[in-house]
Amino acid sequence: MSEISIIDLASRHAIKSLSLDDEKRKGSEKRNTTENQTDVNSWKFDSAGESIGSGLNLKERGYFAIPQPEIIQNYLVPLSPSLQARILKNRQEITDILSSKPGKRSGFLVVVGPSHLQGIEQAETLRDWVSSIQDFSNILVSVRTNLSKPRLVSLTDDKQSLMPYEIEFGLPRLRSLLLSIAKDCPLVGDITNTITPQYVSDLYSMGIVGSDVVESQLHRELASGVSYPVGFSTTTEEPVLNQVMFNHRLSSALDAMFASAQPHRFLSVTKLGTVAVVGTEGNSDSFVVLPLSSMPSEEEVGSKIKAIYDYPKIGTDSPRVMLDVGKLGDSNYEDVLSLVKRIMNGPAGDKVMGVAIDSGDSYGQGNKQVLYAEKMLHELNSIL
């Protein structure tokens, strides 16, 4: 039996035991499953309507109990000491990149991966591909493991797509999947809520706050308390309509960098599943993600990078900019590569700490997005 199926089975047993009395009273309800996906609509929720509490939760369908973070993180899917040491090493490598002095680059980070995780098969082929391209002398290659679909896609495609991976497939299966990837390459996670990080944050080497929540005070507070560097994105799936809109996103990301560097207090849950007020020290290891699709010329990129370092609250000359090149293909690869080379060889090159590449959703042999992403990696390695 595979590792994931064992974890899934253990998780279901733990969850079932939490509502055993309710099972006996109402009878069991069958759950329609496939090998890689659970039909969430068939889940059995404990009734909220029979609560003897205030009775104000009139629209609540119910709840579905899961084990505490301590159980899943340390007993069902534990982290080995050797992998823990490797993750801490990767975090320090990224911190060193962000602390580099002009002209003395400490490394370069490239983030690859799909827009979001879709399933076990995709994640395994992604892991195999990235582990096969880790031999770059000047580049640290990491994997994006977003759990939710991009917001624009979610709102237009189907009604179920707003459901993130940890809800659709379960937290034990999610942690097991991320653990299998982390054994071969550093993980970059999306910071989405106050609960999920308690289950998987120890696996991440870096985090990204999406542009749709970069103005959220809650997400800024979360970024202030994580133990790894965090990027604030200005990239979205929707087209940037005008420079006023983009400048607003950039200003929000800079405000988020400053805010996340400050101490905060907010409500969250502990490893034992109890609600607590969490106090943070602040996280100054942060950067901005700039989409090259919004800036087709070297001059425009240079002006935005200058605006970042003119921001009065940044107070550093170390690299704090990641360039998001998006999806690469026949139609744009040469133009994007030429633009990246000019930026890296120009006066703004010392301010760039990395590049993000959308390498697509499929990682089988012959996929063009994957081939172009790998080609870009070799080109970047040669100019650094």
DSSP one-letter string for 320-382 = -EEEEEEE--TTTHHHHHHHHHHHHHSTTGGGEEEEEEE--S--STT-HHHHHHHHHHHHHHH
Q: 262 and 354 share a domain?
A: yes
According to the model, what pLDDT value does residue 18 have? 38
Choose the weakest-confidence range: 51-65, 115-129, 339-353. Answer: 51-65
According to the model, what pLDDT value does residue 46 have? 57
Coil, strand or helix at 52: coil
Residue 306, number of CB atoms within 10 A of its CB: 12
Better-predicted residue by pLDDT, 19 or 221: 221
| Count of positions (residues) in the chain | 384
Q: 78 and 104 share a domain?
A: yes
Q: 13 and 132 share a domain?
A: no
Q: 351 is in which domain, residue-wise?
A: 72-383
The reported pTM is 0.83
According to the model, what pLDDT value does residue 239 have? 53
243 pLDDT band (50/70/90 cuts)? confident
| CA distance linking residue 265 with residue 261, whole number of Å | 13
Q: 159 and 20 share a domain?
A: no
According to the model, what pLDDT value does residue 308 have? 94
- Say yes or no to pLDDT of 259 above 90: yes
Burial 252-279 (b: 16+ CB within 10 A, else e): bbbbbbbbbbeebebebbeeeeeeeebe
- Say yes or no to pLDDT of 101 above 60: yes
- Say yes or no to pLDDT of 199 above 80: yes
Q: 100 and 54 share a domain?
A: no
Q: 53 and 85 share a domain?
A: no
Burial 42-53 (b: 16+ CB within 10 A, else e): eebebeeeeeee
Q: 161 and 15 share a domain?
A: no
Q: 43 and 141 share a domain?
A: no
Which of these three, 37, 66, 95, is where a domain ends?
Answer: 66
According to the model, what pLDDT value does residue 151 have? 54
| CA distance linking residue 196 with residue 246, whole number of Å | 30
According to the model, what pLDDT value does residue 59 have? 65
Q: Please, what is the Cα angle at 72 between 71 and 77, to 5 degrees?
A: 125
The 10s digit of each residue's pLDDT in 33-84 is 344 444 555 555 555 445 455 556 666 667 778 899 999 999 999 999 999 9
201 closest CA partner among 222, 218, 183:
222
Q: 58 and 153 share a domain?
A: no
Better-predicted residue by pLDDT, 160 or 127: 127
Q: 26 and 93 share a domain?
A: no
- Say yes or no to pLDDT of 27 above 90: no
Residue 9, number of CB atoms within 10 A of its CB: 12
Task: Say which residues have a Cβ less than 8 Å from residue 202's Cβ, sequence separation at least 6.
Answer: 73, 79, 84, 87
Q: 127 and 20 share a domain?
A: no
Token pair in block for residue 104? 């003395």
According to the model, what pLDDT value does residue 247 have? 87
Better-predicted residue by pLDDT, 207 or 16: 207
According to the model, what pLDDT value does residue 378 have? 94
According to the model, what pLDDT value does residue 55 have? 57
The 10s digit of each residue's pLDDT in 136-183 is 988 999 999 988 776 544 444 444 445 567 777 788 888 999 999 999
Task: Say which residues have a Cβ less than 8 Å from residue 14's Cβ, sequence separation at least 6.
Answer: 66, 67, 71, 76
Alpha helix locations (H) across 99-232? 120-131, 151-156, 165-169, 171-182, 197-200, 217-225
Residues 191, 164 contacting (CB under 8 angstroms): no
Token pair in block for residue 209? 């706050």
Better-predicted residue by pLDDT, 196 or 36: 196
What amino acid is encoded at 330 in this protein?
D
What amino acid is encoded at 111 in this protein?
V
Choose the weakest-confidence range: 203-207, 213-217, 243-247, 268-272. Answer: 243-247
Which of these three, 66, 90, 111, is where a domain ends?
Answer: 66
341 pLDDT band (50/70/90 cuts)? very high
According to the model, what pLDDT value does residue 7 have? 47
Task: Say which residues have a Cβ less than 8 Å from residue 89's Cβ, sequence separation at least 6.
Answer: none
Q: 50 and 134 share a domain?
A: no
Total number of domains in the chain: 2
Better-predicted residue by pLDDT, 135 or 229: 229
Q: Please, what is the Cα angle at 52 between 49 and 57, to 5 degrees?
A: 45
According to the model, what pLDDT value does residue 169 have? 74
Better-predicted residue by pLDDT, 263 or 313: 263
Which of these three, 66, 84, 107, is where a domain ends?
Answer: 66
Token pair in block for residue 154? 């979610």
